Structure 1
Amino acid sequence: MKTLRMTTNGWAGALPWLLLLTGLAGLLLGGRAYAQGPPAVLRKDLKQDFGARGDGKTNDQAAFTRAADFFNKRAQTPAGAGAAVLTIPKGVYLVGQQDAAGNTPDVLRLVGCRNLTVAGADSATTEIRYAAGLRYGAFDPKTRRPYEAPTGMFTDPAYAARGGTCVVLQGCDNVVVSGLRLNGNSTKLVLGGHWGDTGIQLPADGIFVSDSRRVSLRRLALHHFGRDGIQVLNHLAKSLDDPQREAILLENLTCTYNGRQGLSVTGVSGLRAVNCSFSHTGRAVVAATGKALSSSPSAGVDLEPEGGVVANVRFENCRFVNNAGVGLVADRGNDSQPNATKNVVVAGSLIWGPTNWSAWVTQPGFLFTDCRLYGAFVHGCKATTAAEATRFVRCTFEDRPYHGQPAYGSFTMHSDAHARYMSFTDCRFVGTHSYLAWAIVAKPDTASFFHFRGNTFLYDYAQLPQGSYNNLQGTVFTGTTVFRDGPHRTALGRTNATMGNGGAPQSTVVRAPGSLQLLASNCVYGVITGLDIGRQPARARDSASVVVGPNNALVMNEPIWQPSELYIGPTSRLIVKKGGSLALLRHAKLVVAGQLIVEDGAYFFLDPQAEMVTTGRGRVRMGPQAIKARHPTLN
């Protein structure tokens, strides 16, 4: 063993050895000399520490107030940075104490809290329920009777009876709320007259998040609130491109039977909702009146920036079902307003509108992927760039009934002179009683065209729709797009579709590589102004084709605004199958730079005042038994 000896520096040379031996001794003694455990978590119990009863009879509002006061005061001290848990044991906690003026204080108002968890046992056994008989709406301040203002907009605060908010998170960071049922008990409210612009626009919310970061709301049921299940109003982002995200997480929630919205997002940058339901808004019936409590827009989710931005929002596997208003709404209102939304994704979700639009989007930056939209989608963004456009990927648009009630709308997709750059990729459009699509460009320019890439349009009628027709004016088809019968079609009567757009030359485009196949039974596709098949492909080997199947007719209509031209590009083909029909009416023009193939038994009609020319290597291949006449029934 080496001997430790004094040096000219005294014990300096021996110091490292002493430290080593001391450390080894500490390890042998279990590390107690140096190891430190994690900071202790402060734990509080709503019953034991703040006097709540949770018996469904005693009003526990004061206990929640004491709990909020404790954590809010703690947040102002150095200890406020430490982790803390407020446990709410199983039980029914009655809340809601309204003063004579109609003011109902918030139940659990947390301000500036950090690293706090509010945990119930689970949403089935831990309920915070508002008391019956609370007033909500406009009431005469003298008589306290319901007051209905004679004007549409009414905002006199003296007449306002407010419901308050159950949980408020203001200026908080890293807060979790989980395992609770928040019941606004709206069916037992005493309703006053309208307050605000429409309905009752007064606080009566489940959870209100304001200027907070890293908030997680998990395993909650929020229902029967007079206004919103949840509202998120953050003004932390400085711009749409602010790199800091607020990390608001909604997971395994149900926001149902609320009066105005399941979820209102009026400001946020960074919100994710997973496995949530925002449904049945505006459907709760108030017992005293027998009428539903519904305030506009009565949506499942409303994304509406108010003085800030709504950006980097994602909905995954969510449900927006049976709302009195729109399932998901993001309305810009005025196209001249600066952009306030960006990067909003709705993925793998169900949006079902039996009495109103499934979704209404005019704000920029929305992408829908793998969604089912039952009931008509409406509008789309009037985008100035492709990045702002409304886009759909692998979505299904269908008029599927909801518990026997037909889905809303005459079309599964309805965009009337509103959208630009709008696109649909690998989507399905299914009509059982409605038409498939009404798509009219906002302007007669190529930027306004609707882009359909590899879509399928299914006519699945048991009874044909009446009074209108499919309308695809200003469209670009790429990939393989097919119109065909659905598996349940029994009504085989004639249906009509219009393609084209007044004022835009070659306004229906089949771009190479791509194929448009018209295969449904008894369908007539009328083209206005132009059909362009494979003009100027990006690569010389790329081709485009249009196939007109049996009992289908492609008709180049008489021009209204300008000459109607059907153009077949050098590498492209138009094929008319047996029983199908191609008709060129007066003043229409057919230019064949590729191939026109009319099979035996197919119909081909060229009006004496129409024109057909071949150019370059163009060829017309007419079967010997092709019929040079109009189809007898598809005219």
Structure 2
Amino acid sequence: MKHLRKKNPGFHLPAWSLLLVSLFLLLRGVGHAQSNVAVLRKDLKKDFGAVGDGRINDQAAFEKAADFFNKRAQTPAGTAPAVLAIPKGVYLVGRQDAAGKGSDVLHLVGCRNLTIQGADSASTEIRYASGLRYGSFDPGTKKPFEAPAAFFTDPNYAGIVGVCLSLQNCENVAITSLAINGNSDKSVVGGHWGDTGIQLNYDGIFVGESRRITLRGLALHHFGRDGIQVLNHLAKRLGDPLTENIVLENLTCRYNGRQGLSVTGVNGLRATNCDFSHTGRVVIPSLGRALFSNPGAGVDLEPEGGFVQNVRFDNCRLVDNAGQALVSDRPGNSHTTQNIVVNNSLIWGTTNWSAWVTQPYFLFTNCRIYGAFVHGCRADNAAEATRFVSCTFEDKPYHGQTAYGTFAFHSDGAARYMSFTDCRFVGTYNYLIWAIVSKYDGGGNPDTASFFHLRRCTFLYDYAQPTQGSYDNLQGTVFTGPNVFRDGPHRTSLHHTNVTLGNGGASGSTVVRAPGSLQLLASNCAYTVVAGLDIGRAPAHSRDSASVILGPGNSMVINDLGWTVTELYIGPTSKLVLKKGASLEVAAHTKVTIAGQLIVEDGAYFYTDPSAPVTTVGKGRVRLAPRAIKGRRPG
């Protein structure tokens, strides 16, 4: 019997491989099909009848465009990309009925994958008509009406202009290359309406319940209320992983009435190269004063019924606002903000605080803060605290006008766990810092969590004239790394400067940790230490050291207040050095413990009250140079 030859089985793919190949081809086809989807292009002039000559009112053309895209959004075609082109020109908008009620110019609802694009912000302008009424007006006479009550919300009296571009429940919408001019200086302004100022719609752009919104290359100015307002309530909690990706790039919001940018709800917003300045600076000729509504800030981050989280500002400018440059106020002990970063930005307060922050989780990095920063968060833990890294605080004048405040930094018992790392404090006219701790926690004990933590910080006295104000005050401070008080390069006035270190309610409230140093080298300074100075106690590593150096001509007095233990403590690897001409006076009943070294150089003064016990521990010693002076410095 012949052997049958087996047929060659050939090459067969396993079933699972065929499935993967089929899936790959299917996905490739879908992606290819999507990339070839035609973009719908509409032109505001050609398709909707706009003129753009700055004389004929084009509001109807914008409303037709909004109606078209809103209806399209309800159809299957609404997901395909579309562009509304706004050619070069000046588009006059804004109209009100007899009762003074205006409507939004371009009100979009549910739109997706839409780009609204001008030619550029220099040649494409949407401008509101002159003579629009804003505020409270008598419904009979149509004349401005000033209500006798501070809180006034009668809708019959409301003169409403509306919002220029409104995005509601939209996704992946971009608005680019436009100037949007509210023309508020040509409006007719009535009396107050709302809780403060005029709280009625007169805004450049409103974003509500929307995701993936990009605003780029815009110039928004002269609106009665906000340049931009973002109010999203999509996040249900802090830490919600689904972010909204609101992007602001290369835009300006200037000369608006209430805010340049108002964020009352968002999870994920980034502003880059933006300018939020000169809020509340537009003078209305008929009023003889500026159009201003509280808070009148450059940027306001204030959650309303939701959360503001994952917000970042990079290379932004917040300058010369009638209110604060940046405000984020915390009602009660609410927890409604998280992960707010302000980086490489200019924050300049001229007639009000540079920044007013009490909400948690704020981090400032590489910022120039001119004019007084106020408060800080009363945090429950270090993560919530207000933090500064590589920032400069300075009372730098703005076009000849002195920056606001009597200190570059001002926190009056409001903050806990606040920290400064690699920061500079520069005084040219005013004192540098007023940092007051919370004297007691809930149990009546000193609140050490309210101490200010300074790491590698520099305090520059750069005065050309005597300082204005009272004195520098650091009531509870922990210094780590090298810290220095010294003269600035332009100092010509060597007037006497008083500095208070410590808090009578908390023992050991000025601490220099090891490794760390505090060099007190600025000229002609008198340091009053209240409730003790602790240098290098319990270092983490045996070789870590701490030091305090009191420079020539400076004085330090360590006071005992009678109701708390006051101690000068010098740790085993640490030292206190008095340079020539410096003086240290230890007042009555103060405890002095020296486990390290107290070094008194030639020409320095050292005095201890007879009732102040001096104890040396271990290798601790007092080293008096041959020409050191044991006694009070004259005068």
* Length-normalised TM-score, structure 2: 0.93
Whether the 8 Å contact between 1:188 and 1:288 is mirrored in structure 2 is no
Write the mapping of 1:558-573 to structure 2, written as runs, cut at 5 A.
558-573=560-575
Write the mapping of 1:216-227 to structure 2, written as runs, cut at 5 A.
216-227=214-225
Alpha-carbon distance between aligned partners in 2 of 1:141 and 1:36, rounded to the nearest angstrom: 55
Alpha-carbon distance between aligned partners in 2 of 1:489 and 1:170, rounded to the nearest angstrom: 55
Whether the 8 Å contact between 1:98 and 1:134 is mirrored in structure 2 is yes
Number of the residue aligned with 1:27: none
Whether the 8 Å contact between 1:529 and 1:561 is mirrored in structure 2 is no
Confirm whether residue 333 of structure 1 aligns to residue 331 of structure 2.
Answer: yes
Alpha-carbon distance between aligned partners in 2 of 1:412 and 1:103, rounded to the nearest angstrom: 45
Whether the 8 Å contact between 1:559 and 1:587 is mirrored in structure 2 is no
Question: 1:632 offset after TM fit, Å?
Answer: 2.5
Number of the residue aligned with 2:377: 381
Question: 1:560 offset after TM fit, Å?
Answer: 4.5
Question: 1:615 offset after TM fit, Å?
Answer: 1.3
Alpha-carbon distance between aligned partners in 2 of 1:197 and 1:631, rounded to the nearest angstrom: 59
The range that moved more, 131-140 or 546-555, is 546-555
AA aligned to 1:134 is L
Question: 1:334 offset after TM fit, Å?
Answer: 1.7
1:560-588 Cα distance to aligned partner (Å, 9 max, x none): 43232110011111111111111111222
Whether the 8 Å contact between 1:344 and 1:367 is mirrored in structure 2 is yes
**Residues 1:311 and 1:66: Cα distance change in structure 2 (over 3 Å):** same
Which of 544, 561, 568 aligns to 2:546? It is: 544
Number of the residue aligned with 2:54: 56
The range that moved more, 377-386 or 140-149, is 140-149
Confirm whether residue 133 of structure 1 aligns to residue 131 of structure 2.
Answer: yes
Number of the residue aligned with 1:495: 497
AA aligned to 2:608 is L
Alpha-carbon distance between aligned partners in 2 of 1:402 and 1:72, rounded to the nearest angstrom: 46
Confirm whether residue 619 of structure 1 aligns to residue 621 of structure 2.
Answer: yes
Alpha-carbon distance between aligned partners in 1 of 2:586 and 2:458, rounded to the nearest angstrom: 26
Alpha-carbon distance between aligned partners in 1 of 2:34 and 2:82, rounded to the nearest angstrom: 19
Secondary structure of the 2:251 match is: strand
Confirm whether residue 213 of structure 1 aligns to residue 211 of structure 2.
Answer: yes
Number of the residue aligned with 1:404: 400
Whether the 8 Å contact between 2:104 and 2:166 is mirrored in structure 1 is yes
AA aligned to 1:425 is T
Number of the residue aligned with 1:358: 354
**Residues 1:560 and 1:167: Cα distance change in structure 2 (over 3 Å):** farther
May I ask how many residue pairs the two structures share in their alignment?
601
1:372-406 Cα distance to aligned partner (Å, 9 max, x none): 00000000000001010000000000000001110
Write the mapping of 1:93-492 to structure 2, written as runs, cut at 5 A.
93-335=91-333, 337=334, 339-443=335-439, 444-492=446-494
Confirm whether residue 77 of structure 1 aligns to residue 79 of structure 2.
Answer: no
Question: 1:35 offset after TM fit, Å?
Answer: 8.5
Secondary structure of the 1:496 match is: strand
1:402-428 Cα distance to aligned partner (Å, 9 max, x none): 011100000000000000000000000
Alpha-carbon distance between aligned partners in 2 of 1:270 and 1:450, rounded to the nearest angstrom: 30
Secondary structure of the 2:61 match is: helix
Alpha-carbon distance between aligned partners in 2 of 1:344 and 1:58, rounded to the nearest angstrom: 44
The range that moved more, 624-633 or 200-209, is 624-633
Number of the residue aligned with 2:3: none
**Residues 1:318 and 1:560: Cα distance change in structure 2 (over 3 Å):** farther
Alpha-carbon distance between aligned partners in 2 of 1:205 and 1:50, rounded to the nearest angstrom: 23
1:50-83 Cα distance to aligned partner (Å, 9 max, x none): 0000000000000000000000000000000000
Write the mapping of 1:599-614 to structure 2, written as runs, cut at 5 A.
599-614=601-616
Alpha-carbon distance between aligned partners in 1 of 2:293 and 2:629, rounded to the nearest angstrom: 61
Unaligned runs of 5+ in 2: 1-6, 13-28, 440-445
Whether the 8 Å contact between 1:506 and 1:532 is mirrored in structure 2 is yes
AA aligned to 2:520 is L
Whether the 8 Å contact between 2:116 and 2:174 is mirrored in structure 1 is yes
Whether the 8 Å contact between 1:199 and 1:295 is mirrored in structure 2 is yes
The range that moved more, 554-563 or 133-142, is 554-563
Question: 1:36 offset after TM fit, Å?
Answer: 8.8
Number of the residue aligned with 1:22: none
AA aligned to 1:422 is M
Number of the residue aligned with 1:629: 631
Whether the 8 Å contact between 2:315 and 2:345 is mirrored in structure 1 is yes
Alpha-carbon distance between aligned partners in 1 of 2:37 and 2:331, rounded to the nearest angstrom: 51
- Give the RMSD, CA atoms, in angstroms: 1.4
Whether the 8 Å contact between 1:137 and 1:194 is mirrored in structure 2 is yes
1:131-181 Cα distance to aligned partner (Å, 9 max, x none): 000000001111111110001000111111111000001000000000000
* Length-normalised TM-score, structure 1: 0.93
Alpha-carbon distance between aligned partners in 2 of 1:378 and 1:449, rounded to the nearest angstrom: 16
Which of 509, 512, 525 aligns to 2:511? It is: 509
Question: 1:446 offset after TM fit, Å?
Answer: 2.1
Alpha-carbon distance between aligned partners in 2 of 1:587 and 1:75, rounded to the nearest angstrom: 80
Write the mapping of 1:10-21 to structure 2, written as runs, cut at 5 A.
none
The range that moved more, 594-603 or 554-563, is 554-563
Alpha-carbon distance between aligned partners in 1 of 2:395 and 2:341, rounded to the nearest angstrom: 23
Alpha-carbon distance between aligned partners in 1 of 2:155 and 2:590, rounded to the nearest angstrom: 66
